[in-house]
Homo-oligomer: A and B are copies of this chain.
């Protein structure tokens, strides 16, 4: 196996051994850009409540809401910037569960978090461990934070070279 790299391609700071169950990571915050939100939906998810300003304004949504895939992609960027850029991450096999809890709109400030739930050395890939992770994005509001995205997934991370 080639030497593990961090997400940025450098020598990793964190390995499987550092992802201890109970550990949490602040994924920072991002402000939803309305033009980018709309462009994403026009390309990948052109449903009226994502792309038609007038219909959306006149509907129960009261205005355009983000494609859930845009919201998930914003989560991913925080996860890369704050965790994967420093960690010896291999690819992810997928998601166990994802929930879109509330609409996301242009101008929303979203804060991300990641929690390590559990982990085990991989049975089939000796140099790797499987880590169970829970992530979320929440909308910052005057009355506190409101979850907009919650997901559980597994990641593969290289074990620390001995």
Contact = CB atoms under 8 A, between A and B. Distances in A.
Given A47-B7, A80-B46, A95 B98 contact: yes
Contact of A48 (B9, B49, B69, B100): B9
Nearest to A96: B97
Interface string A1-44: 01001011100000000000000000000000000000010011
B80 A69 contact: no
Copies in the complex: 2
Nearest to A72: B69
B48 A8 contact: yes
Interface string A32-66: 00000000100111111100100100011000000
A59 to B, nearest CB: 6
A134 interface: no
Q: At the interface, is chain A mostly helix, strand, loop or mixed? A: mixed
B89 A99 contact: no
A128 to B, nearest CB: 12
Given A69-B76, A77-B45, A52 B94 contact: no
A44 B73 contact: yes
Contact of A97 (B2, B91, B94): B94
Given A72-B72, A98-B98, 13 more contacts: A2-B60, A5-B55, A7-B46, A9-B48, A9-B52, A9-B55, A46-B80, A47-B89, A49-B91, A68-B94, A93-B99, A93-B100, A96-B97
